[in-house]
Structure 1
Amino acid sequence: MNNERQPVLLTDEQMRTFITEGFLILKTDFPEDFHRSLLQQLTHVYENEGNPGNNLLPRIREVQMIFDHPVVTGALTSVLGPGYLMHTHRHGHFNASPKAGGWHKDSYWGYKRMRNHHPWWAMIMYFPQDTPVELGPTGIMPGTQNYESRVFEADEVTGEALASGGAGTFALIHYDIWHRSTANILGQERYMLKFEFMRTQAPSAPSWDHREAGWKRPAAFSTEIHEHDLLWEETWNWLCGRVGSLAGTQPADAGRAAELAARLEEASEPEALNAAYTLAGMGAPGVQALLAALERGSGHASRLATYGLSAAGAEAVGGLTAALGSPQPLTAEYAVFALGELRYLAAGSVPALNRLLEAGAPAEVRRAVAEALGLIGTPAAEAVAGLTRCLEDADVQVRFTAGLSLARLGAPAEAAVPQLAAALEDENRYVRGHAAEALHYIGTEQAKDTLIRFLMNSRWCPSTTPQSTFYP
């Protein structure tokens, strides 16, 4: 075992599989005694102290070795780019239940938000013991990362993938995929270490072992999943650094646009998504149809139209900026989301986004603004000014989203350091955690001094337990 090795980057074929199916099952090569020791520590901590929750990493320091392993760092770098962030929320799942858990998507630490098709987030689910099917590995429903609805019957599951394998097996999953725990019919201890990661840099070039420029389906394409060729191609192009790549790829046919717009209301979610992405490629007729659906404020059609507008390129920016003034909070929230996904193309919308903060827009809209400012990122001074305001917002979710956005901005966000220092004393654990991460990614002397002082004052001793308060 040598964790000094270079990251083992994913191949084009693995990235194609991740884009279509939403997950990969991979494995580290730690020696057997590493996992034996890790299991002993996990069992001791869980039996004597309970689940350490967010303190899993400092309590069992060897866990960090997992996330320094070149297969893990290579997988995360490939999907999230260099400089990805390990989120402050982490959890060690213990499963001894003979009953399977319910299908679900993980929340974003306390609130419901628009989910990203682009992989801004990923999770690692790591199994430190041999995990045969009978021990209850995590079950994953392939291809469901882009759906809000479950789109399959829970009692008639076909195509479920299981993260089963020897010790050191892990699932790399798109954050928003449907998954569950499966039945542990052996009744033996089964741990799964779940850690979450965020992209801090928008892609400018492929970050995996990239050899073939164009998109194509993976060779082992699953026939169980719905087909979304335009969505997948757009995601591939986005990961290669191209924003709004669908623009102009479809005939600009007004009649066809009207037909597709009707599907946003009437079709199943997979079919409606295909309609939205087709409209995204049709130029002005497609964008106008998507904007009309957005402005109707219907939750289903509006949300699906938003994904199309997120991929439609510069053509969509003017209409989305105008939609920020909608009296319907849902329309404004979705417009903010789409502008964030359009990144630098939406730089001219930053003043309008900041005005939403100044006008006291609903909390859901302010949360979306706090994220979009970090994704757009320019002009930096205006984005930082808005995010500084967000750090002082009455809504805790606006505050902790602002910290993540400032981490994405990095050194250009130095003006926010005083407000981040104040946020380190916030009552909410994620506001504090995200503020610390932002200071780390800003990385200037002022930011580092503030962060080091905070870390020294809050230093956590992994050896201190109720059974060992001071000695040995």
Structure 2
Amino acid sequence: MTINPPVLLTDEQMRRFVTDGYLLLKTDFPKSFHDALTAQLDKVYEEEGNPGNNLLPRIRELRKVFDHPAVTGALTSVLGPNYMLHAHRHGHFNATPKPGGWHKDSYWGYKKQRNHHPWWAMIMYFPQDTPVELGPTGLLPGTQNYETRVFETEDPAGEALAAGEAGTFLLIHYDIWHRSTANVLGKPRYMLKFEFMRTSAPTAPSWDNRDAAWSAPATVDALPARHDLLWEETWRWLRGEVGAIAGSLPADDAAVADAAARLAGDDEPDALNAAYELAARGDRGIAALAGALLAGGAAGRAASYGLAVAGAAAVPALREALASADEKAAARGAFALGELRGLAAGAVPALVDALGRAEPRVRRAAVEALGLIGPAAGAHVGDAVAALARALADDDAQTRFTAGLSLARLGSAAAAAVPALVLALDDENRYVRAHAAEALRYIGTPEANEALLHELTYARWCSTTTKESTFYP
């Protein structure tokens, strides 16, 4: 099968994705393609209901969408060339004049600390012409980094709508605030949602990068707040730099005191700006962030984002937090250590030890951190792989399926985990099974490939078998 080369995003598009949290793009399939796709969706939804995670095998034509160079190029640009199509998929059907509620999507049933860096993205694909009156997805630009809504009304100013012709797709940072809007026409509106994960940390730009320097696009004037340090740090992270803003501002005592006060305030956007400013002010800023992390509350959450970008000098404070009896502080410490990747390689033994903690929140964060550090763990890679293999049998399902994702991120370095992954293919949780299969794919050794092929041979799903057509034609 020949797949056309991806059409990579431009610098301007990437800048807008970093600040606004979304891009509205389009495929160029003919009208006949989308007419047939929509007709098949009508039939499946009417006769069988929502196919859920079986959306791709049931609607075979959708595979062409995710091989389209506009789609592969957008995903490669944001998530790197080895991105993962996640096992969770869903077709949203909207025929109601009542708008949906504002929300961020969950990570399959559990709360995790959300990443400012784009480790995850989502595509919402519209197979029919979707004017405003048909109820496209609405989102609030620039809100991908906020835990709270930061807007009070249900109809905030600045809402963006994914209206467009058939073939339009919305690429979003996974954590942006969004909703369904009112379908006043009453005709069926489909939105097909697919989730994607970065499997390796960026080491160089994966988009059509021509300019190394960060500059904010004009669209930032309409956002709820400016986050210049956060945006610049994310841009440089996407270019392969870790801890890029550490020490970039003078360690001025008055400035540190002012930022520390803002960090503890009730204004979440301002607290995030304060966290990134403290990360850029060297040891004094790190000390203020470490104190806030251990103190807890909303300031502790904001502080963990600052420490996650503060460079190697933040690692001792994060190891102290990881050892804390306060479970939230320990989980946030693990989160930030993972974001520091190779700079936190020496903390891998402590993260392994954290998998023995009683609180699942800590084990989940430690398992994810081991995957984010990944092969950069160096001499500790073997210990990380062994710990993740054991975590596949954890009592907590969310720890188990995160362990599978982390082993996928380790790739061939996780070959020793193949026997444990084979056992996980029989787990009672659908995402543990799916992530185990993905980990075998990304490990890619002959043993892993044989196990994966055996599993997929038995799990093969026939896209044309229905209760009306069980065997012929």
Determine helix, strand or coil for the equivalent of 1:115.
coil
Q: Equivalents in 2 of 1:430, 1:220: separation in Å?
A: 37
| 1:74-93 → structure 2 map (5 Å cutoff) | 74-93=73-92
Whether the aligned pair in 2 keeps the contact of 1:123 and 1:197 (CA below 8 Å) is yes
Amino acid at match of 1:315: A
Whether the aligned pair in 2 keeps the contact of 1:3 and 1:68 (CA below 8 Å) is no
1:266 maps to 265
Q: Which stretch shows the higher mean deviation, 359-368 or 406-415?
A: 359-368
Amino acid at match of 1:364: R
Q: Equivalents in 2 of 1:187, 1:26: separation in Å?
A: 25
1:454 maps to 455
Determine helix, strand or coil for the equivalent of 1:417.
helix
1:156 Cα shift? 4.2
Q: Equivalents in 1 of 2:55, 2:354: separation in Å?
A: 39
| 1:100-249 → structure 2 map (5 Å cutoff) | 100-249=99-248
Amino acid at match of 1:293: A
Amino acid at match of 1:52: P
Whether the aligned pair in 1 keeps the contact of 2:120 and 2:173 (CA below 8 Å) is yes
2:27 maps to 28
Q: Equivalents in 2 of 1:264, 1:324: separation in Å?
A: 21
Q: Equivalents in 1 of 2:91, 2:222: separation in Å?
A: 33
1:225 Cα shift? 2.8
Aligned equivalent of 2:307, options 282, 306, 309: 309
2:370 maps to 373
2:344 maps to 346
Whether the aligned pair in 2 keeps the contact of 1:146 and 1:177 (CA below 8 Å) is yes
Q: Equivalents in 2 of 1:320, 1:226: separation in Å?
A: 28
Q: Equivalents in 2 of 1:4, 1:225: separation in Å?
A: 40
Q: Equivalents in 2 of 1:154, 1:402: separation in Å?
A: 39
**Is 2:390 the partner of 1:393?**
no
1:327 maps to 325
Q: Deviations over 1:92-114 (max 9, x none)?
A: 00000101000000000010110
Determine helix, strand or coil for the equivalent of 1:342.
helix
Determine helix, strand or coil for the equivalent of 2:121.
strand
Q: Equivalents in 2 of 1:3, 1:288: separation in Å?
A: 54
Amino acid at match of 1:195: F
1:253 Cα shift? 1.7
Amino acid at match of 2:440: L
Q: Which stretch shows the higher mean deviation, 374-383 or 390-399?
A: 374-383
Q: Equivalents in 1 of 2:288, 2:253: separation in Å?
A: 9
Q: Deviations over 1:391-411 (max 9, x none)?
A: 110000000000001010000
Q: Which stretch shows the higher mean deviation, 282-291 or 248-257?
A: 248-257
Whether the aligned pair in 1 keeps the contact of 2:263 and 2:271 (CA below 8 Å) is yes
Whether the aligned pair in 2 keeps the contact of 1:336 and 1:369 (CA below 8 Å) is yes
Amino acid at match of 1:244: G
Q: Equivalents in 1 of 2:60, 2:155: separation in Å?
A: 41
1:336 maps to 334
1:404 maps to 405
1:263 Cα shift? 1.3
Q: Equivalents in 1 of 2:267, 2:140: separation in Å?
A: 18
1:254 Cα shift? 2.7
1:64 maps to 63
Amino acid at match of 1:144: T
Amino acid at match of 1:248: G
Whether the aligned pair in 2 keeps the contact of 1:147 and 1:269 (CA below 8 Å) is yes
**Is 2:34 the partner of 1:38?**
no
Q: Which stretch shows the higher mean deviation, 385-394 or 136-145?
A: 385-394
1:360 maps to 357
Q: Equivalents in 2 of 1:385, 1:287: separation in Å?
A: 32
2:10 maps to 11
1:364 Cα shift? 0.3
Q: Equivalents in 2 of 1:311, 1:402: separation in Å?
A: 24
Q: Equivalents in 2 of 1:346, 1:276: separation in Å?
A: 19
1:462 Cα shift? 1.0
Q: Deviations over 1:29-74 (max 9, x none)?
A: 0011000110111011000000000000001111111011000000
Whether the aligned pair in 1 keeps the contact of 2:20 and 2:219 (CA below 8 Å) is no
Determine helix, strand or coil for the equivalent of 2:213.
coil
Q: Which stretch shows the higher mean deviation, 367-376 or 2-11?
A: 2-11
Distance 1:323 1:224, change over 3 A: closer
Amino acid at match of 2:392: L
Q: Deviations over 1:335-391 (max 9, x none)?
A: 00000000000000000111111x333100000011000011113212101111211
1:3 Cα shift? 7.2
Percent identity among equivalent residues? 66
Whether the aligned pair in 2 keeps the contact of 1:135 and 1:188 (CA below 8 Å) is yes
Amino acid at match of 1:370: V
Whether the aligned pair in 1 keeps the contact of 2:247 and 2:281 (CA below 8 Å) is yes
Whether the aligned pair in 1 keeps the contact of 2:158 and 2:222 (CA below 8 Å) is no
Whether the aligned pair in 2 keeps the contact of 1:3 and 1:69 (CA below 8 Å) is no
Amino acid at match of 2:406: S
Determine helix, strand or coil for the equivalent of 1:222.
helix
Determine helix, strand or coil for the equivalent of 1:208.
coil
Q: Equivalents in 2 of 1:12, 1:376: separation in Å?
A: 27
Whether the aligned pair in 2 keeps the contact of 1:103 and 1:154 (CA below 8 Å) is no
Q: Equivalents in 2 of 1:153, 1:258: separation in Å?
A: 30
Distance 1:47 1:3, change over 3 A: farther
**Is 2:438 the partner of 1:442?**
no
Amino acid at match of 2:381: A
Whether the aligned pair in 1 keeps the contact of 2:20 and 2:223 (CA below 8 Å) is no
1:318 maps to 316
1:255 Cα shift? 3.0
| 1:421-432 → structure 2 map (5 Å cutoff) | 421-432=422-433
1:139 Cα shift? 0.1
1:420 maps to 421
Q: Equivalents in 2 of 1:37, 1:222: separation in Å?
A: 41
Whether the aligned pair in 1 keeps the contact of 2:292 and 2:303 (CA below 8 Å) is yes
Determine helix, strand or coil for the equivalent of 1:452.
helix
Q: Equivalents in 2 of 1:248, 1:110: separation in Å?
A: 38
Q: Equivalents in 1 of 2:426, 2:153: separation in Å?
A: 43
Amino acid at match of 2:196: F
Task: Name structure 2 gaps, 5 residues minimum.
Answer: none
